[in-house]
Amino acid sequence: MKPFISPKLLLFLAVFLFSCNQSQKTNTVTEKTDSGELDRTTLPIPEPPFGGKIGKTYKDSKEEWPKLVTPPQGAPNVIIILLDDVGFGQVSTFGGPVPTPELDKLAANGLKYNRFHTTAICGPSRAALLTGRNHHNAGSGFLAEWATGYPSYNCMIPKTTATSGRILKGNGYSTSWFGKNHNTPDWETSVTGPFDRWPTGLGFDYFYGFNAGETHQYYPVLFENTKAVEPDKSPEQGYHFMTDMTDRAINWLEYSKSVAPQKPVMMYFAPGAAHAPHHAPKEWRDKFKGQFDKGWDVVRQETYERQLKMGIIPKGTKLTPRPDWVTPWDKLSADQKKLFARLMENYAGYLSFADHETGRLLEAISKLPDADNTLIFYIVGDNGASSEGGMEGTVNEIKALSGISTPLADNLKHLDEIGGPNTEPHYPVGWAWAGNAPFQWVKQVASHFGGSRNPMVVSWPKVIKDKGGMRSQFVHLIDVLPTVLDASHLPAPKTVDGVEQKPMDGVSFLSTFTDKNAKPVRTRQYFEIFSNRAIYDNGWVAATQHTFPWRQDFAPGNWDKDKWELYNIDEDYSESVDLAKKYPEKLKELQAIFDEEAKKYNVYPLDDRGTGRLISPKPTPSDPKRKHFTFYAGATRLAETASPNTKNKSHSITAEIELKSKSDSGIIVASGGSSAGFALYVQNGKPVYHYNYFDDARYVITSKESLPIGKSTVRFDFAYDGGGTGKGGTGKLYINDKLVGEGRIDKTVAARFGIDTFGIGEDSGSPVAKSYKAPFKFTGIIDKVEIDLK
């Protein structure tokens, strides 16, 4: 009997084979597209005209598929890795005490750069890296939390400065961003957007990470593209964001190359590590027990000696002396030494763990079919080591940033918890100073290299043959994007999405990949953060330090009285000899150049206010004068600055809820987390209001009566004392307008609760109170929650 094939099956097979053939033709055409035919200075690249033929029927017509945009022949994969808050003298690759074997391996097969520069603080550095423009030119003169209403300081990256993601995506790359995003103003991170300054709006196909300067590594505030998501397991089950984001990045990379191996990828991999809170898994922090008992003076000296021996710093480089704001280690008490050493052990564990996880990504990259044509920039820090933990360190970093110190005895109570889920640690100033060896100063102090010089390793097996080589050309973050475009044979676009682009401020340093004696690519660069400022010009640096990173309340003004220093860094690598008195005319010349550059790149107006800028009103998704808010169940993960600001004022919270049984419980509304915040919830049948003042004081008002089954109204009223910010007040709790609880709240948070969010019906992230386990979702029904600001 002959096999039977139906006409329908024959038709299906014919259509299938034809489609496959056409698909193959389309791919072939795409692969052969000559980049010379395209005008890549305008993005998006215009679609080509239809080259087929349209007749009355398909019989007298001819198909032609649109030619897809592809990168120029040979364009490499691009991987940009950016660690956070790591000093020049912290990683082993550059002589530091923290072992980073994965970075060591990459450097052994690539190049080390020992004159690479950042802006001295995270958000501005990232804007410079992403756009190839100076941070003020990209609207990011300081951090979004301190934003002001000037174009250079509103932290709203303008459409005139398209990012690397947008440019490479427009030229046929697949693009992704993992980890930290501190370039979307937090008032734009709600469900209402706008979304054009989120990573996906800035040109990245995929984003997985957090929208803030930092996040809790065990309870991160996570987004996938523009949707809030939660970790798939708890800290008790082994969750840590560093591992999570690495898993996601590897999956995206391998999946992308499985589907389209010929298509180059661009990945921006930006861990929260090693920014505070310093969260190291226990087995990693335990690796460093006792290793920092010798103290910061000895550790800094040993780092300096290794740097000289390894050739990281030139022969003859001097180690700058300890400043008066760092206490000599041998002058500390035994308890101080115990706490400070433990905080550094924890940081070292966190940084080494981050290197380990990054190594898993590098291993995945090494297995790609085009691994040898993968250009990797591993930038070790977006600024120098951070002193934001204050003089004595902290287990509650947000509290320290708010200018509130914690007694040593209180910190010591948490000694064995440091680095775990219930702490938010940061080491003291002395370790930041030691971590920036051999330079002066720390993060935020853009005037000196302790704030702005960071290690960088570059790998590109196909091109770089001087494996393990050192490069000493003066380069800056703004030079990375022009180098990527140069390596990919792409021009900087003149217009993007119809918007004329500012010229790139950076220049390519591609020439240094193959020639260690390549001519200097950058002969001038200004620096300014928080009124700390400097100018580099042909080997000379003029610098003035103005504000202190650990003093948010310190705004001296009197910029004309700042003391300027002068250094010849061609002869004095570490800025150890101030030549201002010896060459006053040279100093005046450089001061004039700074003013010229400041005007050119929109640095003015200088603003040295700390807390003043932090509490200055920011744009909100709704009317900034709005006093009444209504929320419904499901309104979660709302950024603090996009939520009702109940601080420093009287207010009321009214919730219409329904209990289905006596066992119903959970959060009605919560804002903040373990660092600070408030929560109104139901527990054991009674409404409870909990105010967490930096985990230093906790005020709990519990109802004397139980809630009835069925519908009821719960109200909390707070009468603020007034008389300034951060004052106390009286809280009253009501059920159906009946007073059921009352209590004093002696101290309130004046500025920010921290890194967590606002939500209705659950406390996402770290818990405000210790009496429940997050997210503590409400098991009854929430009709609505109304908040009135008085």
Domains of the chain: 77-523 (3.40.720.10), 628-789 (2.60.120.200)
pLDDT band at 745, cuts 50/70/90? very high
pLDDT in the model for residue 5: 39
pLDDT digits (tens, 9 = 90+) for 498-549: 999 999 999 999 999 999 999 999 999 999 999 999 999 999 999 999 999 9
pLDDT(781) > 80: yes
- Give the side-chain half-sphere CA count within 13 A for 256: 23
Q: For 141-170, what is the mean pLDDT?
A: 97
- For the ranges 145-154, 371-380, 615-624, 757-766, the lowest mean pLDDT is seen at 615-624
Residue in this structure with the two tokens 């209180």, named with its chain if needed: 410
pLDDT band at 712, cuts 50/70/90? very high
pLDDT band at 26, cuts 50/70/90? very low
pLDDT digits (tens, 9 = 90+) for 256-267: 999 999 999 999
Q: Considering only CA atoms, which of 652, 621, 624, 616 is closest in space to residue 639?
A: 621
Q: How far apart are CA 381 and CA 353, in angstroms?
A: 15
pLDDT digits (tens, 9 = 90+) for 276-312: 999 999 999 999 999 999 999 999 999 999 999 999 9
Contact between residue 674 and residue 422 where contact means Cβ atoms under 8 Å apart: yes
Look up the pTM and report it: 0.93
Q: How far apart are CA 636 and CA 190, in angstroms?
A: 9
Q: How far apart are CA 202 and CA 255, in angstroms?
A: 22
User: Dihedrals φ, ψ of 409, to 5°?
Assistant: -60, -35
Q: Where are the alpha helices (DSSP H) in 263-371?
A: 282-285, 296-310, 334-366
pLDDT(393) > 90: yes
User: Dihedrals φ, ψ of 650, to 5°?
Assistant: -75, 150
pLDDT in the model for residue 186: 86
Q: For 113-140, what is the mean pLDDT?
A: 98
The mean predicted confidence, pLDDT, of the chain is 94
- 723-728: long-range contacts, CB 8 A cutoff, minimum separation 24: 725/615, 725/647, 725/648, 725/750, 725/751, 726/648, 726/750, 727/648
% of the chain beyond a pLDDT of 90: 89
pLDDT in the model for residue 7: 36
User: Dihedrals φ, ψ of 678, to 5°?
Assistant: -135, 155
pLDDT(46) > 70: yes
3-class state of residue 630 by DSSP? strand
pLDDT digits (tens, 9 = 90+) for 419-472: 999 999 999 999 999 999 999 999 999 999 999 999 999 999 999 999 999 999
Amino acid identity of residue 565, one-letter, is: E
Give me the numbers of helices (H) and strands (E) for the chain, helices first please: 16, 29
Please report how the helices 334-366 and 241-259 are oriented relative to each other, as an axis angle in degrees rounded to 10: 10
- For the ranges 185-189, 298-302, 320-324, 786-790, the lowest mean pLDDT is seen at 185-189
SS3 content of the chain, % helix, strand, coil (to 5): 25, 20, 50
Q: Considering only CA atoms, which of 143, 154, 137, 135 is closest in space to residue 601?
A: 137
pLDDT in the model for residue 751: 87
pLDDT band at 31, cuts 50/70/90? very low
Q: For 239-255, what is the mean pLDDT?
A: 98
